[in-house]
Amino acid sequence: MTKDRAAPPGSAGPVDNAGPVGSPGDDATLAEQVQTLRDRIAYYNDRYYRLDAPAVPDAEYDALAAELRRLEAAHPELAVAGSPAQSVGAPPAPLFAPVVHRVPMMSLDNVFSAEELRSWADRIARHLPRDAPFVCELKIDGLAVSLTYRDGRFVTAATRGDGRQGEDVTANVATLACVPEQLDPRAGPLPRLVEVRGEVYLPVSAFDALNARQLEAGAKPFANPRNAAAGSLRQKDPAVTATRPLALWVYQVGEVDTGGGPLPEALASSHAASLAWVASTGLPVNPELRRVTGLDAVVEFCRHWEAHRHDLDYDIDGVVVKVDDFSLQRLLGATARAPRWAIAYKFPPEERSTLLLDIEVSIGRTGKATPFAVLEPVVVAGSTVSMATLHNEDQVRVKDVRPGDRVIVRKAGDVIPEVVGPVLDPPGTPGARRRPRPWHFPATCPSCGGPLVRLEGESDTFCTNLDCPAQRVQRIAHFASRQAMDIEGLGELRVRALVEHGRLVDVADLYAFTPEDFTDVDGFAEVSVRNLLAAIDASRHRPLHRLLVGLGIRHLGEVGSLALARAFRSLDAVADAPREALAAVEGVGPVIAASVVAWFSSPVNRDVVGRLVAAGVNLDEPASDAGGATEPASPVPQVLAGRSVVVTGTLPDLTRQEAEAAIVARGGKSPGSVSARTYALVVGEDAGATKVRRAEELGVPVVDAAGFAVLLRTGELPGAQPGSQPGSPGRPPPGRP
């Protein structure tokens, strides 16, 4: 759970690291500082759990909570009843009716490394048999809820609240499509009452779409999927909740009342068996659960998901490890706030707070002016971040971040770091900092001094000077990039040096270079010049779709370029085609078509193309595709019409974008995830394990690169049969209970 909380009343602002908060030699000062720490954590809990308005990153909250627990343990005389160090969540909000949990919903203790995980295991090992199994589950970053079924029928749902009393959200949870109104009787005799616990979450794809709508409406975007899920579920009007595609994973059985009848054996034996029973009733249980023996297997599971957390369409922030056997759980017991038989292994934080030093503007190849944050360096998701994107003028205004603010920075996997929002002291806080003035988008280009113009109806701002040095550098660097003409050794720094020395004005100049052109340019030794000239010469033979990408036509990316190249086969045909013909190509449409026509209508651009022709640059698309079949220039046969084909991994002859474009060009769709409606999964090198496993579970056919070639030619699946992969329906995947 990402606790992005604002500073509480009575504090001097958020802390950046958790060190000792007082001098051990001064008991009065230590007592005061411990109380300040308690007040701060209680405030953060209230903002996070009750108001769904957090503003300090999870890692910083965890450090504060750990420091409070350390101090109370070291100084028992300072411990008090009700300390947040020993409590769970926050009291329920008065907006909803209260619900008392007859079995408390506890929290979990955290560890942050394999060493700490092994220390936990060592502490409990003396109570366990040597081969006692553990269950490893993904730690879903959502909102904890409790669902109660009476005689198999859904009757109540409540939030965790403070662990003993939560909020009645029955009507809201009833809108979730994955929550059955009636448990499946095929699971066997149902207890008179059964309560299950789980996490309500918002898929990442749905979160992105929701935030896009927020920004279009001029509303503040949600900080992360967890906050969006919590805010969506805790709506007074269930109709609002129903508009949000929330989902649920059940992770535990709580109270069970058999009414004097027999207890299902699965609910009496182990955690894994109880969740298998839960799944048989129709409730959703996360498929990545694994039952393992030994800490080495636990550590391997944690490390795998730390590396693959972004393969999923939902956020996870760690792994939960539990002793599987219920009798051993009872033997280990619990503290006031957490069970001793379970632990949460937390992944490195993807959100941290730091100082926003300045906001600057970069100019891209199309003249687009993009604001970015200059930050005091901070380690996020394992790497040091000193700059982060702010997207556009509207996002800076909506997020209201200002140079001099402390801000939350988020970096998820390989995604470009972004600023989420400011960390603010509440009004009236003693010692609260006065905020700096709001930042305003500049009126002139920082590179050429020309005007910056915001186009009507768009959120983007542009430098309109085509001779802007920054645009020139970015246009040429893009032309040389791997997805375009792939000129190895010609990165942005070298392009900038050549532009500054007057050797490069446009991309056609590249093909007129001689060794003498580099003599007085720093960074070009004899060997590097020779290699660069060879790379430039090799780029003359790239196919048309790579050239179209390299020309940097606005709105035309890799997929559209490949579609146009395969539809028209030559640059002359693309340049001379009317807008209607371009727009009719699958994957192009009227916006891209208009942009292509406008680009080729420019005399400057036509001149560049003419010089590329004179330099011997290839202007045609080969007639053969990945399947080796020759296709006419007319529209591609729609052999995949209405079918969904997912691609994962790297194919020998196509990039992933090219493979997806080939599917779309044949009438198919290529979404990012596997579902029951997927026609086939195409698997290349370094394929995503989650997609492959999902295909196996659903019986979706899996094909390799050779099979994909046949699929593109015929629309048929050569030799791939549903259920032929390990772990297909009828046989659980390895490690499943």
Which residues belong to the active site? 139
User: What angle (nearest 5°) sits at the alpha carbon of residue 466, between those of residues 462 and 470?
Assistant: 70
For the chain, the distance separating the N- and C-terminal CA atoms, rounded to the nearest angstrom, is: 26
**DSSP one-letter code for 47:** I
Contact 639/633 with Cβ under 8 angstroms?
no
Which run of H or E residues covers position 137? Answer: strand 133-140
Q: 515: part of which helix (H) or strand (E)?
A: none
Specify which residues 133 forms β-bridges with: 293
Nearest-angstrom CA–CA distance, 11 and 484: 53
Cβ proximity of 73 and 27 under 8 Å: no
What span, in angstroms and rounded, lies between the C-alpha atoms of 516 and 425? 60
Residues 6+ apart with CB under 8 A from 63: 15, 17, 18
Beta-carbon neighbour count of residue 250 at 10 Å? 21
| Cα torsion angle, 459, 465, 469, 474, sign | positive
Q: Please give the backbone phi and psi of residue 73, each rounded to the nearest 5 degrees, phi first.
A: -70, -35
**Is 737:291 a contact under the CB 8 Å cutoff?**
yes
Q: In what side-by-side order are the strands of the sheet with 702-703?
A: 644-648, 678-683, 702-703
Which of 621, 684, 692 lies closest to 654 in space, CA to CA? 684
The dihedral built from the CA positions of residue 263, 266, 269 and 275, taken in this order, carries a sign that is negative
Q: How is residue 317 written in tokens?
A: 């922030």
Place of tokens 């500082």: 33
Question: What's the full length of the chain, in residues?
Answer: 737
Q: Can you state the angle between helices 492-500 and 469-480, rounded to 10 degrees?
A: 130
Residue located via tokens 């995830």: 673
The two three-digit tokens of residue 215, written as one number: 């920004």
- Lookup: tokens for 533: 């000239």
Cα–Cα distance, 184 to 189 (Å, whole number) = 10
Residue 158, φ and ψ in degrees, nearest 5: -145, 150
Bridge-partner residues for 249, per DSSP?
Answer: 199
Q: Where are the beta strands (DSSP E) in 227-331?
A: 247-257, 290-293, 316-323
CA distance 371 to 459: 12
DSSP 387-455: EEE--SHHHHHHHT--TT-EEEEE--TTSPPEEEEEE-PPTT-TTPPPPPPPP---SB-TTT-PBEEEP
DSSP 186-197: GG-SPPSEEEEE
CA distance 689 to 629: 31
For strand 678-683 and strand 644-648, is the pairing parallel, antiparallel, or unpaired? parallel
Amino acid letter for position 353: S
CA-closest candidate to residue 69, choices 52, 86, 92: 86
Residues paired with residue 200 on neighbouring β-strands, in sequence order: 143, 248
Beta strands across the sheet bearing 110-111:
110-111, 342-346, 316-323, 133-140, 290-293
Compute the half-sphere exposure of residue 75: CA atoms within 13 Å on the CB side of its CA.
Answer: 19
Cβ–Cβ under 8 Å, residues 401 and 422: yes
- Do 198 and 249 touch, CB atoms closer than 8 A? yes
